[in-house]
Structure 1
């Protein structure tokens, strides 16, 4: 179902870049440098954050890959220092760490990181993450070139200043500017080429009613963990739909979501919410079921004139119905993560492997997705 060489090494449109690699562990640094060099990137290395920051200032790289736990200046401190320097503040940064807890992830994204890979990582995971950030950066520059008919240097400087201001408070800015788009009451948000990640989170909490943790507190913890994981991997909205939690990925201008990031978000959601439920009520890998579906999605802001509050709701449509049907099939089969077969066939093997096959009523075949392991 896959072309391994294409999935691992990308198409001819792969972008090459100068990458600054910062890691105090010489063995881990050598491994990551080899992966990046084999992908065609030019790699410079530093043994800690202070040395890495100086190298970045002396000769700005196009992308930085940085470990978190280092002497003198750790990864969080280095990212914050990079964002504070006008000459390098827009440089994409990927953090590498074995600290996979939610607090550590939030700290990295708050400092200004663009992506986050947990150690140990597969070579293709690092290549995919680097390529995705380079393509996003290139798309930003291409958009400027296509829309601004004035001096290119002035346009790039304006974009650099806007990005610098955005990264002063990375997590809050992302929530307000990208993830929590403000919509007037009654207005409809249309995503022509969106994707949904749906999980039976609220039903899972209901199944634990009567346990040692009050249902309200358990719901709060599970919802927070799930939302953090989804927003970290690029969701633009997370909302309730019946007993399910639904995350919307995509843009209103019709650009398709990043498929590897979408699948990683599904695994991260399953793990994050499952960890909360398991810690409070006992381990059960089948407690939470996640389904992935793609297609057009519309959201509507509903307003309560009596209480003055409002919230987003998913407009009923074919994509939402397919996602719900897929989630039900996955729950019945005992799968953790499921996707329709046409979408699953495009998932790189370094991101996920295929498990069992199933059938969704009045739809395409369903595939169980298993997290790729080394």
Structure 2
């Protein structure tokens, strides 16, 4: 049984969350605003906090900041609640220290799963502390707890409904000594074009664009553009994401795309069964290195637009065209993997001869987060 503090100015939501958690055997304390909720947290030091974002007196971000700033409370898991239209809050919450978020309205099962995940993570951390008393290990765990928490991409795809905004914010002639390029394209595209009508294929592509666009937005992509059935994205270090380097954000985005495509595949299997279609999946390539942006001014309808160029971009675009052909879902060059060492689990390793390159690329399969 865990002690959980629930903070929400809406009495209905507060009652729903409290009743669901009490039925799971947890002890629940609740407050109708952030200030009262923070008082409960400081007095009782709960195992978990479930807090709304928009509240009078003190909003959820202020509560989160106060908790993270207090050495006695900093390790407390925090789940934020936000409404569907508050899309911009999701990324802000995750990059400022929230462990997870739920979008309203949410199902009781989603709440139970999110709470269970955070409490299980707490139990694993406690077991490690009892085995290893080394202060350096403890500091590393604390730092990790303050970085971006594990995201529930399947729930995110359901919640985010707004159209992907224009993301070509990169300025002409920008140059980055270190960036991570992500390129994802739809596998077996030729099979899908032959098996589906143009209307059916258009619906699938629209779902893909919405899912991957929202995922990349959440992880702070500097640049993104769609190319046919594929997506090209560039991650760079920036002031608002300095706690997590561009390589790790790109790797998390890649794994988020894998989760998003599972939902699309479930839709296909349910609504297009019996058509002989393969499983819906993406091939996601990651490569890190220098990237420059070239201005497209002067071309018809291209005023003010830019495009990323350079060997790093070209290698990512062609990685899955190389030999041997990779069946992996996420493939990353060793240059990209070096940026996420210890943060991801890797699988197979291969030397891939990429078209147009004299030397093969050393690449590894990324299976998930460590």
Distance, in Å, in 1 between the alignment partners of 2:61 and 2:265 is 45
Aligned position for 1:208: 192
**Is there any run of 5+ residues in structure 2 with no aligned partner, and where?**
7-17, 69-76, 101-112, 126-140, 150-160, 354-358
Relative to structure 1, the CA distance from residue 302 to residue 277 in structure 2 (aligned partners, 3 Å threshold; closer, same or farther) is farther
- TM-score (ref. length: structure 1): 0.56
Relative to structure 1, the CA distance from residue 250 to residue 47 in structure 2 (aligned partners, 3 Å threshold; closer, same or farther) is farther
Aligned residues: 282
Structure 1 residue 239 corresponds to structure 2 residue 225: yes
**Is there any run of 5+ residues in structure 1 with no aligned partner, and where?**
1-19, 31-44, 69-74, 135-170
Relative to structure 1, the CA distance from residue 252 to residue 260 in structure 2 (aligned partners, 3 Å threshold; closer, same or farther) is closer
Distance, in Å, in 2 between the alignment partners of 1:96 and 1:59 is 14
Aligned position for 1:54: 36
Distance, in Å, in 2 between the alignment partners of 1:298 and 1:29 is 55
Q: Cα deviation per residue 1:118-162 (whole Å; 9 max; x = unaligned)?
A: 84367389966533269xxxxxxxxxxxxxxxxxxxxxxxxxxxx
SS at match of 2:325: helix
Contact 2:288-2:335 within 8 A present in 1 as well: no
Relative to structure 1, the CA distance from residue 299 to residue 345 in structure 2 (aligned partners, 3 Å threshold; closer, same or farther) is closer
Structure 1 residue 251 corresponds to structure 2 residue 237: yes
User: How much does 1:294 deviate?
Assistant: 0.9
Structure 1 residue 193 corresponds to structure 2 residue 178: yes
Across the aligned residues of Structure 1 and Structure 2, the Cα RMSD in angstroms comes to 5.1
User: How much does 1:222 deviate?
Assistant: 0.7
Distance, in Å, in 2 between the alignment partners of 1:318 and 1:285 is 32
Aligned position for 1:164: none
Relative to structure 1, the CA distance from residue 278 to residue 288 in structure 2 (aligned partners, 3 Å threshold; closer, same or farther) is farther
Instruction: Output aligned runs, 1:17-166, within 5 Å.
Output: 22=5, 25=21, 47-48=29-30, 50=32, 53-56=35-38, 75=51, 78-81=52-55, 85=59, 88=62, 91=65, 96=79, 106=87, 109=90, 114=95, 117=100, 119=114, 120=117, 123=121, 130-132=145-147
User: How much does 1:217 deviate?
Assistant: 2.9
SS at match of 1:227: helix
Aligned position for 2:330: 337
Distance, in Å, in 2 between the alignment partners of 1:105 and 1:28 is 29
Relative to structure 1, the CA distance from residue 133 to residue 222 in structure 2 (aligned partners, 3 Å threshold; closer, same or farther) is closer
SS at match of 1:228: helix
Relative to structure 1, the CA distance from residue 84 to residue 311 in structure 2 (aligned partners, 3 Å threshold; closer, same or farther) is farther
Contact 2:320-2:326 within 8 A present in 1 as well: no
Instruction: Output aligned runs, 1:9-24, within 5 Å.
Output: 22=5
Aligned position for 2:13: none
Distance, in Å, in 2 between the alignment partners of 1:27 and 1:341 is 48
Contact 2:177-2:289 within 8 A present in 1 as well: yes
User: How much does 1:287 deviate?
Assistant: 2.7
Contact 2:170-2:223 within 8 A present in 1 as well: no
- Give 1 or 2 for the bigger CA radius of gyration: 2
SS at match of 1:291: strand
